[in-house]
């Protein structure tokens, strides 16, 4: 397998206006340590219940910083395959692999697009397909979901997180993100300052009211993410699509998947998380 290849993005034309996810992941990597990796492992455990990692393979679609690939590697999956469309994300994942001291061939890192059906076929089928916060940023979410679902082995798990459809609120965020990716540098900085203050103050007060430690957001949340880089991702993450939980479940049920776990965003702006199990071949 090629490590960090630089081929064409895929058979689908990727949207020209895209957020530079990988640059943000490189920023995030500078502050990552054991706490973030352990948080990632805890958050991944929902998907891998009843799976023997030593006999299972893990595909990380849109690996970003490589944090969750590393978690899978540390869980002992017999093969971890990570890929991302963004070259900086690929480099971040390679750097994460090096930080883990993973010199064996058990963990491979590639550049490619989940929209590229031919590329996806070369990756084969996997016991766990993980794609958290990725498919809605491809510009063609349902096609990306089809390709991700096809990579799951019979009886395997598909762990995805997709932005919740909140009607006009989602439209508002679409406009913010679209403006950000098409704006000149100083406008982007201004937008970030506004949202750092907005979320910083809002979440600080919300945490205090819920008797939570507001500083936890800066040192790493439940998935090991950090406030500073999260806000950049929330403001800039474009392309951007959304789906209701019902629509996602119905879509995947039609492809032979059963919902086994979910954590819904509810009224909060954010992602719905789902774990689906693919039917046995003979089901
Ligand atoms: C919000 S980040 C999520 C990263 C990681 N999955 C996580 O949970 O931390 C979205 C990632 O999806 C990647 N991405 C966007 N479009 C993609 C595509 N068509 N194929 C593969 N990765 C893609 C981005 O480059 C980015 O690294």
Distance between CA atoms of residues 11 and 260, nearest Å: 32
Lay out the sheet containing 107-111: strands in order across.
107-111, 79-84, 57-61, 126-132, 152-163, 271-278, 257-263
- What distance in Å separates the CA atoms of residue 48 and residue 87, rounded to the nearest whole number? 28
Give the model's confidence band at 46: pLDDT under 50 very low, under 70 low, under 90 confident, else very high. Answer: confident
Q: How many CA atoms lie within 13 A of 272 on its CB side?
A: 21
Residue of 24, 85, 226 to test ligand 1 pocket, by largest number of atoms within 8 Å of CB: 85
pLDDT at residue 8 tops 50: no
Smallest CA-to-CA distance from 86 within 32, 10, 11 is with 10
Compute, in angstroms, the gap from residue 23 CA to the centroid of ligand 1: 12
Partners of residue 109 on adjacent β-strands: 82
Distance separating alpha carbons of residues 225 and 67, to the nearest angstrom: 10
Please state the rounded mean pLDDT for residues 29-56. Answer: 91
pLDDT of residue 98: 96
Give the CATH number of domain 21-165+240-278: 3.40.50.150
Better pLDDT: 48 or 57: 57
Angle 21-29/87-99 helices, nearest 10 degrees? 20
pLDDT of residue 7: 38
- The residue assigned the tokens 């982007």 is 188
- The 10s digit of each residue's pLDDT in 118-148 is 999 999 999 999 999 999 999 999 999 999 9
Instruction: Tell me the pLDDT tens digit for each residue of 203-213.
Output: 777 777 777 77
- Atom index in ligand 1 nearest the CA of residue 237 equals 1
Question: pLDDT digit string (tens) for 73-98?
Answer: 999 999 999 999 999 999 999 999 99
Comma-separated ranges of CATH 3.40.50.150 domains in the chain: 21-165+240-278
Distance from Cα 211 to the centre of ligand 1, integer Å: 33
């Amino acid at each position: 397998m090629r490590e960090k290849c630089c081929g064409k993005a895929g058979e689908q034309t990727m949207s020209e206006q895209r957020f530079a996810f990988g640059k943000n992941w490189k920023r995030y990597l500078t502050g990552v340590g054991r706490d973030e990796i352990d948080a990632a492992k805890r958050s991944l455990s929902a998907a891998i219940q009843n799976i023997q990692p030593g006999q299972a393979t893990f595909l990380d679609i849109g690996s970003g910083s490589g944090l969750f690939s590393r978690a899978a590697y540390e869980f002992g999956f017999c093969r971890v395959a990570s890929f991302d469309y963004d070259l900086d994300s690929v480099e971040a994942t390679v750097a994460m692999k090096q930080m883990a001291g993973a010199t064996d061939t058990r963990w491979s890192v590639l550049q490619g697009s989940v929209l590229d059906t031919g590329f996806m076929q070369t990756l084969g089928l996997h016991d766990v397909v993980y794609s958290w916060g990725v498919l809605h940023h491809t510009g063609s979410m349902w096609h990306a979901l089809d390709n991700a679902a096809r990579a799951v082995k019979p009886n395997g798990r598909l762990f995805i997180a997709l932005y919740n459809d909140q009607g006009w609120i989602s439209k508002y965020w679409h406009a913010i993100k679209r403006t950000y990716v098409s704006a000149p540098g100083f406008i982007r900085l201004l937008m970030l300052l506004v949202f750092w203050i907005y979320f910083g103050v809002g979440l600080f007060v919300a945490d205090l009211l819920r008797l939570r430690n507001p500083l936890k957001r800066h040192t790493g949340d439940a998935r090991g993410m950090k406030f500073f880089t999260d806000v950049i991702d929330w403001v800039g993450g474009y392309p951007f699509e959304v789906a209701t939980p019902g629509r996602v479940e119905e879509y995947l049920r039609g492809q032979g998947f059963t919902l086994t776990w979910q954590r819904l965003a509810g009224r909060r702006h954010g992602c719905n998380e789902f774990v689906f199990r693919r039917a046995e071949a003979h089901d």
